[in-house]
Copies of this chain bind each other. A is one copy, B any other.
Amino acid sequence: MRETYHEELASISDGLVEMANLVGSAIGLATTALLDADLQLAQSVISADEKVDDLQRDLENRAITVLARQQPVATDLRLVVTSLRMSADLERSGDLAQHVAKLARMRYPDRAVPRDLRRTVLEMGQLSQRLMAQAAEVILTQDVDAALQLEKDDDRMDELHRTIFQHLMDDQWQHGVETAVDVTLVGRYYERFADHAVSVAQRVVYLVTGEHADELIPDTPA
């Protein structure tokens, strides 16, 4: 039965990778829907999130089945427990992509994002999608260096988030309070999405090395 057992473990990893791919695509599509005020696209992102939720439930059930039937220990046990955490990160990322799409729908036929922030939001969307693709790869390869790199790449998200705040706090802001509220929330959604991608990668680091990611990144010299 050893093979079935390893197949079961592998299918949990596969499920995580599939979830990561789905939510990565979702954030990309949601960004397009937001920037182009594309109602149909927004709607399809909103509906598609159900698939992610189903995958998570399925994955949770499979993890519990493996725990009950195979009673894994040591690394395998840690893998199953960590996968539960990762699937929660990914499920939440799906929600955040859905939030972006819902904002697009709410403001339709208007655009929620003003022109002078379009480029910044586009980059946030693309970066989110890229970080999630990296996270998916890290789940597959268990490559610790790639996982730590992801954390550094997330610094760019913080810069973009600061750019948004600079626009908002600028005395020249001419788009009114409603748009300020929308842009604030959008910035937060992308930031949290990226956090979850980083968190997935960090859990892989912990799984492989037994150490938390922040212990492996040397402090940058002052």
Chain A 63-102 near chain B by CB (<8 Å), digits 1 or 0: 1100110010110011001001100100000000000000
A1 within 8 A of B: no
A169 within 8 A of B: yes
A177 within 8 A of B: yes
Most buried by B among A67, A84, A177, A188: A177
In the complex, which residues of chain B have a beta carbon less than 8 angstroms from the beta carbon of A85? 84, 88
**Stretch with Cβ within 8 A of B (4 or more), from A13-21, A23-31, A179-187:** A179-187
In the complex, which residues of chain B have a beta carbon less than 8 angstroms from the beta carbon of A77? 64, 67-68
Interface size for chain A: under 10, 10 to 19, 20 to 34, or 35 or more residues? 20 to 34
* Measured CA separation A81–B82 after assembly (Å): 11
Chain A 124-148 near chain B by CB (<8 Å), digits 1 or 0: 0000000000000000000000000
B169 engages A178 (CB within 8 Å)? yes
Given B60, B169, B188, which contacts A177 in the complex, CB threshold below 8 Å?
Answer: B169
A67 engages B67 (CB within 8 Å)? yes
A165 within 8 A of B: yes
Select from chain B the residue with minimum beta-carbon distance to A74. B68
In the complex, which residues of chain B have a beta carbon less than 8 angstroms from the beta carbon of A188? 185, 188
Known A169-B178, A178-B168, A180-B180; judge A67-B84 contact (CB<8 A): no
Q: List 7 A-B contacts (CB under 8 A).
A: A63-B81, A64-B81, A68-B74, A71-B71, A168-B178, A177-B180, A185-B188
Give 5 new A-B contacts, CB below 8 A, not counting A64-B81, A184-B185, A188-B188: A67-B81, A71-B71, A85-B88, A173-B177, A185-B188
Which 6 A/B pairs are nearest by Cβ-Cβ distance? A71-B71, A184-B184, A177-B180, A181-B184, A68-B73, A180-B180
